[in-house]
Amino acid sequence: MTEDNKTLVTNFVLMGLTDCPGLQVPLFLVFLVIYLTTMVGNLGLTALIWKDPHLHTPMYLFLSSLAFADACTSSSVTPRMLINFLSKNHKMSLAECFTQFYVFGFSATTECFLLLVMAYDRFVAICNPLLYQVVMSNSVCSRFIGVSYFVGFMHSAIHVSLLVRLTFCKSNIVNYFYCEILQLFKISCTDPTVNIFLVLIFSAFIQIFTFMTIIISYFYVLLAILKKRSEKGKSKALSTCSAHLLSVSLFYGTLFLMYVRPGAGTTDNLDKMYSIFYTIIIPLVNPFIYSLRNKEVIGALRRLRKK
């Protein structure tokens, strides 16, 4: 009888952001606009960088990879959430649920390492400009991007492979708007202690390692900027670095609160707010943070418009 009960759950029911019927359509419209804007911004920026030869430099190749990762993050969560706003059937199979988490985990981890190599790129460009072409060649840039995506692939694969060992019989109700791993642990019949421990260890290592390295890189960048005599050079460098730091602070701040803080995954409504930031809001604002004040990107848009 126990074995039969453990095989009962073959799908999950996502509760979504709210169960208030009057908010479903307005929320659908809001998040539809956000998703479409996110896709246009990120995929458009990626296409622009790859199409314009003037932007085939390490800084912009990293930026295009980050934009693609943001598009993957948003697409892993938002389309299903939009469907659930208008549908009464919120069921997801185990395979769909694990796939959704895999794509999210892959893209989020990749973004951590892309932000790291972007910070290193700015460090070399500003602190060692004479060596920049040697240290950050396009081949080195491609390797950094490849390693970032490979680490994202492996990290997410580890957690999903461990999810497969769990059985779900307590409930199939996931009080969330996507298949978030900490919420799945709550309804597992199998002891998820090993899973929770590895999520905490990997999250803490990846997030703290990449975040601290980024902060150290920008500390040295700031010192180098303050030594510059040219006010124009200072202004340009500070503008670029401030945009990067804004993106980093938004992204890591919510990830820390979600996965590294004590008691992570215990306050559902608060955790939903954190998750909305790093799954939906940050992929929306990143292309604007990196491109609106970037003269090279604006110049590429003008050249494309003329053509």
What does the pLDDT look like over 73-125, one tens digit per residue?
A: 999 999 999 999 988 888 898 899 999 999 999 999 999 999 999 999 989 98
pLDDT tier, 3 (very low <50, low <70, confident <90, very high otherwise): very low
Rounded CA-CA distance 112/211 in Å is 8
Query: Model confidence over 272-288: pLDDT tens digits?
Result: 888 898 999 999 999 88
The listed range with the strongest mean pLDDT (5-14, 62-71, 188-197) is 62-71
Which of 305, 302, 298, 264 is closest to 60 using CA atoms?
298
Q: Please say whether the dihedral angle defined by the alpha carbons of residues 287, 289, 294 and 299, taken in this order, is positive or negative.
A: positive
Task: Please say whether the beta carbons of 124 and 131 come within 8 A.
Answer: yes
127 and 221 in contact (C-beta within 8 Å)? yes
Q: What is 2-306's CATH topology?
A: Rhopdopsin 7-helix transmembrane proteins (1.20.1070)
Query: What pLDDT sits at residue 262?
Result: 56
Q: Any idea where the domains of the chain sit in the sequence?
A: 2-306
With 90 as the cut, is the pLDDT of residue 71 above it? yes
- pLDDT surpassing 70 at residue 72: yes
